[in-house]
Amino acid sequence: MNPLLDIADLHASVGEIKILNGVTLTINPGEIHAIMGPNGSGKSTLANVLAGNPAYNVTRGSASIAGENLMQLLPEDRARRGLFLSFQHPVEIPGVRMDHFMRASLNPIRKHRGENEIGILDFDRLVSEKVQVIDMSRDMAKRAVNVGFSGGEKKRNEILQMAILEPKISILDEPDSGLDVDALRIVASGINQLRSNDNSTLLITHYQRILDYVTPDYVHIMIKGRIVKSGDKSLALDVEKSGYDQFEPTPQ
């Protein structure tokens, strides 16, 4: 069986600045991997590069989803193949309603999976069911995308989209940042409910605390654009106790 996500020696830059310096990582179905690292270590860049953000240049290496090379694909084609990025800063789009947006998103993905397009009524039913995952009112579907959403609502909205799109591999870019403990529990509970043996999650976080609620199979430490150490969840506790300094390369 192919791993769901296979990253090999990935290098990436923004303009002249090199940010990823050879990331290698394999994620199998059913696994949750957490990537932790200090600010500026390249965690968000990794998430954006995997999702195909044109602001980043991949200079070397590869990544594939279920055996299929991602690197030459447009962002929308990656999404249709089952890759999902939960944004650290979800974008506000005035004038576009959540339900229109989510249906416009789901239908090409369903089409790629060989399923029929979903009609408006069935979609409304689906939204009513999935909002329960993140404890939101279905009224949110009538609001403009992320406009006027609180920080916590924006993050829950990302998990709602994940619940509706049912991706194979979810890359969650700091789904915990800016959340109070109640919102954190809801987001974590959503992630846990969506977990299955057929999908996998790459959870990017700065702090250990979300890992109290979402138990990772593996924890990786990223420093200066590389994974410098991998282990199980105890590694996260190690970070919590002693910080990231212990992983920094020793000055020559």
- Positions that interact with other proteins (CB under 8 A): 51-55, 74-76, 78-80, 85, 87, 90-91, 93-96, 101-102, 104-106, 108-109, 112, 144, 161, 165
CB of 119 to other proteins, least distance (A): 18
Q: CB of 95: closest distance to other proteins in angstroms?
A: 3
Pick 42 or 52: Cβ nearer other proteins: 52
Q: Please, which residues bridge with residue 18 across strands?
A: 13
Indicate the SS3 state at residue 13.
strand
Contact 87, 155 (CB under 8 A): no
Q: Are 11 and 60 in contact (CB under 8 A)?
A: yes
Q: How many CA atoms lie within 13 A of 184 on its CB side?
A: 16
Tell me whether residue 55 or residue 181 sits nearer to other proteins (CB atom).
55
Tell me the C-alpha distance between 159 and 186, whole Å.
10
Provide the minimum distance between the beta carbon of 93 and other proteins in the complex, in angstroms, as a whole number.
Answer: 5
C-beta of 94 vs 251, nearer to other proteins: 94
Min dist. Cβ of residue 111 to other proteins (A): 9
Handedness of CA 68, 72, 78, 84 (dihedral sign): positive
Interstrand relation of 226-231 and 218-223 (parallel, antiparallel or unpaired): antiparallel
CB of 163 to other proteins, least distance (A): 13
Of 162 and 222, the one with the shorter C-beta distance to other proteins is 162
Nearest to other proteins of 87, 123 (CB atom): 87
Say if strands 93-97 and 57-65 run parallel, antiparallel, or are unpaired: unpaired
